[in-house]
Structure 1
Amino acid sequence: MKLLHFTDIHLTKDGETIGGRDPNANFAKGLAHAMTLHSDAEALFITGDLSDWGDAEDYERLKGLLSSLPMPVHLLIGNHDDRGTLLDAFPALEGPGGFVQYTAPLSLGTAICLDTWGPETHAGHFCIDRAAWLDAELDKAEGPVWLFMHHNPVPIHVAPMDKIMLLDADRFAETVAPHRDKIRHIFHGHCHLPLTGSLHGIPLSAPRGTNHAGWADFAATRLLSSAELPQAYSVVFATPTSVLSHMVEFGYEGEIKGEGSPDYADWNRMTMVR
């Protein structure tokens, strides 16, 4: 199974930039890159911050950008989105209780997409109702299960970012722990950083994002930090016994150098580039 994981695309008004970068152009560039190399992926997941300000025009723009893709696209909500406006544009995303939560079948198990949005905050929320829904879906899901969400469910130990992580992280952890043997991976975004880790033994990961990049400033106490790093998305390869996630830095514009053959017989001081 091959999946594409995009996050934090932050679409905005034409001509506006974020961090000196054009998020609309960069998302389109990322899609073109992925479709050139990975059009055989069976699904694309975009884990939130679809719009920078939750404007209706951004969601209409997103519809147009996704309209010609050859695979199903599964959208999630992030803290920069507006739930009502998003659901007006994509009513099929609405789940029980008005949350942007739903399941999607995959060739290898089931994807569960979660709503961690809360009003007037950048932090993540996972209320009792959402937890009950997830628990019920995990009970009945055909394994393996792949969880997708926007906010990071574990701290990354960068103080300003941890102020806006999933604040109901304990509730989330208590919900997934009994199902740890069924859940193969948790995919999230929000941090604009490449991250890997685990929760109750469940692996988790996040790519950088398709526009502006974060920076892990472990000395920061109040402000988030950014850096001029390449824009990225992830491509995920999964089998019944393995999972591998590549962060693809499609925004890199430097030289790609040939180093030499991987065959041992070809390794010598004359041909290997050093």
Structure 2
Amino acid sequence: MLIAQLTDVHIGFDPDARPEELNRIRFRAVLDRLKTAPHKLDLLLLSGDLTDHGDRDSFDKIAAVLSDIPCPILPLVGNHDDREELLRAFPQTPCEDEFLHYVVERDGLRIICLDTFEPGRHGGAFCERRRDWLRNELKKGGARPCVIFMHHPPIASGIDWMDPAPTEQWIVNFGDAIDGFQDAILAIHCGHLHRRVHARFKGIPLGITPSVAPLVALDLRPIDEDRADNRALITTEPASYALHFWNGEDLVTHYESCGEWDVLAHFGEHLKPMVREMKAERR
């Protein structure tokens, strides 16, 4: 099973741009790559900040761009989104709660989608009700393998202006919910940071998928909110996405940036001996 994860599209950041806003151009580039890739997608997961202002027009635009995607779409809510507008744009979302969280089971894998949104707050939120919901879902799953998707990373990455404090209550609540279920949780995958990051949380592998919208600059210096030092904050690094490959036992994640590049080698007759040799080593 192949799950593509796109995150932080931010449609509506510059809605009046002509002929089309940059974020929608980047979004189309990623979707074109997914449509023309040699492999077939089984699920498309959108891990939050689909829009920049949570407005109806932006959700209508993103739904229109996704209208010809042939696989099921699993949306999450980010801090720039709106729950009601998201559910209106994606009415097939399997959510029956105040919070936009749900579980999808497919090919022996439980896909747990979380809601870390709190209106008016940039950072994450995970209250006691969400903590108890997640813990109950993990109990119901028992030893069955699962992967957790959420918008906000529950870690400090070192990018000071984007990071939470590690002791924030929402992170404590999330940690309490998953504590004791580490053997079943194969990975945690997030968005929000606009950069590719690998880490661990409670011993579980954690990946942050880079954004479709322009990326956050990689600068690990502390930032002084009272001294504007003219550092780079946002860059035009290529739009990116993650591809999660579930083979029935393990979850493997690939990351790809979308742009123009040359192919330096094709699998022609001259490379058959090399491929045969490499395959033979596995047997």
Structure 1 range deviating more: 215-224 or 25-34: 215-224
Give the SS at the match of 1:235. Answer: strand
Once residues 94 and 166 of structure 1 are traced to their aligned partners in structure 2, the CA distance between those partners, rounded to angstroms, is: 32
Once residues 191 and 87 of structure 1 are traced to their aligned partners in structure 2, the CA distance between those partners, rounded to angstroms, is: 24
Alignment check: 8 A CA contact 1:87 1:94 kept: no
Q: Deviations over 1:88-122 (max 9, x none)?
A: 43355474541111111221311111000011111
Match of 1:198 in 2: 200
Alignment check: 8 A CA contact 1:152 1:165 kept: no
Match of 1:139 in 2: 139
Q: Does 1:253 align with 2:260?
A: yes
Per-residue deviation, 1:245: 1.1
Per-residue deviation, 1:197: 1.4
Match of 2:64 in 1: 64
Q: Deviations over 1:156-182 (max 9, x none)?
A: 122111148894111111111211111
Q: Structure 2: where are the runs of 5+ without partners? A: 226-230, 278-283
Relative distance call for 1:220 and 1:228 in structure 2 (3 A) is: farther
Match of 1:181 in 2: 183
Match of 2:280 in 1: none
Q: Structure 1: where are the runs of 5+ without partners? A: 267-274
Match of 1:81 in 2: 81
Per-residue deviation, 1:216: 2.4
Match of 1:219 in 2: 221
Relative distance call for 1:241 and 1:62 in structure 2 (3 A) is: same
Give the SS at the match of 1:105. Answer: strand
2:274 to 246, 257, 263: 263
Per-residue deviation, 1:194: 0.4
Alignment check: 8 A CA contact 2:131 2:176 kept: no
Q: Which amino acid is the alignment partner of residue 48 of structure 2?
A: G
Relative distance call for 1:256 and 1:40 in structure 2 (3 A) is: closer
Match of 1:151 in 2: 152
Give the SS at the match of 2:24. Answer: helix
Q: Which amino acid is the alignment partner of residue 197 of structure 1?
A: A
The percentage of counterpart residues that share the same residue type is 28
Q: Does 1:3 align with 2:33?
A: no
Alignment check: 8 A CA contact 2:3 2:43 kept: yes
Relative distance call for 1:235 and 1:155 in structure 2 (3 A) is: same
Relative distance call for 1:165 and 1:121 in structure 2 (3 A) is: farther
Q: Does 1:121 align with 2:121?
A: yes
Give the SS at the match of 2:103. Answer: strand
Alignment check: 8 A CA contact 2:49 2:80 kept: yes
Once residues 102 and 58 of structure 2 are traced to their aligned partners in structure 1, the CA distance between those partners, rounded to angstroms, is: 22
Once residues 71 and 116 of structure 1 are traced to their aligned partners in structure 2, the CA distance between those partners, rounded to angstroms, is: 25
Match of 1:104 in 2: 104
Q: Deviations over 1:169-223 (max 9, x none)?
A: 1111111121111111111000000011111221111221112011221114148
* Aligned residue pairs, count: 263
Q: Does 1:229 align with 2:237?
A: yes
Match of 1:243 in 2: 251
Once residues 147 and 80 of structure 2 are traced to their aligned partners in structure 1, the CA distance between those partners, rounded to angstroms, is: 24
Once residues 67 and 105 of structure 2 are traced to their aligned partners in structure 1, the CA distance between those partners, rounded to angstroms, is: 20
Give the SS at the match of 1:178. Answer: coil
Alignment check: 8 A CA contact 1:237 1:243 kept: yes
Once residues 151 and 166 of structure 1 are traced to their aligned partners in structure 2, the CA distance between those partners, rounded to angstroms, is: 15
Per-residue deviation, 1:40: 1.6
Per-residue deviation, 1:39: 5.7
Match of 2:281 in 1: none
Give the SS at the match of 1:216. Answer: coil
**TM-score normalised according to structure 2 size:** 0.83
Give the SS at the match of 2:219. Answer: coil
Per-residue deviation, 1:52: 0.7
Once residues 240 and 55 of structure 1 are traced to their aligned partners in structure 2, the CA distance between those partners, rounded to angstroms, is: 39
Once residues 257 and 16 of structure 2 are traced to their aligned partners in structure 1, the CA distance between those partners, rounded to angstroms, is: 23
